[in-house]
Amino acid sequence: APIRCPAFSPDGSKLAFALSKSGSLNLYVMNLGSGQITQLTDGRNNNTEPTWFPDGQSLAFTSDQGGRPQIYKISASGGAAQRLTWEG
């Protein structure tokens, strides 16, 4: 499956992207030095458009997990996502 929405980290060491393995788009981060890939999101919702924060430690992304697409924030190393917008 082709990767979508590729986004390089501010220092150029990592690449975030969306990939559909099971019908839904989820976010991944690849360490370009080691080739290691970390899956950030998992689920049946579409998680797309990763955008790095300037510090390179977190990403903003769009997810429809709450119904309509909203913006969330997640650590580049994984963990729980934090919802940032509540637009109806």
Region label for 84, one of left (φ > 0), alpha (ψ between -120 and 50) or beta (otherwise):
alpha
pLDDT over 70 at 24, yes or no: yes
Average pLDDT over residues 1-23: 94
- By CB atoms closer than 10 A (0-12, 13-18, 19+), residue 67 is exposed
List all residues 6 or more positions away from 42 whose beta carbon is below 8 Å from its beta carbon: 26
pTM for this prediction: 0.92
pLDDT of residue 29: 98
The residue ranges of every structural domain in the chain are 4-83
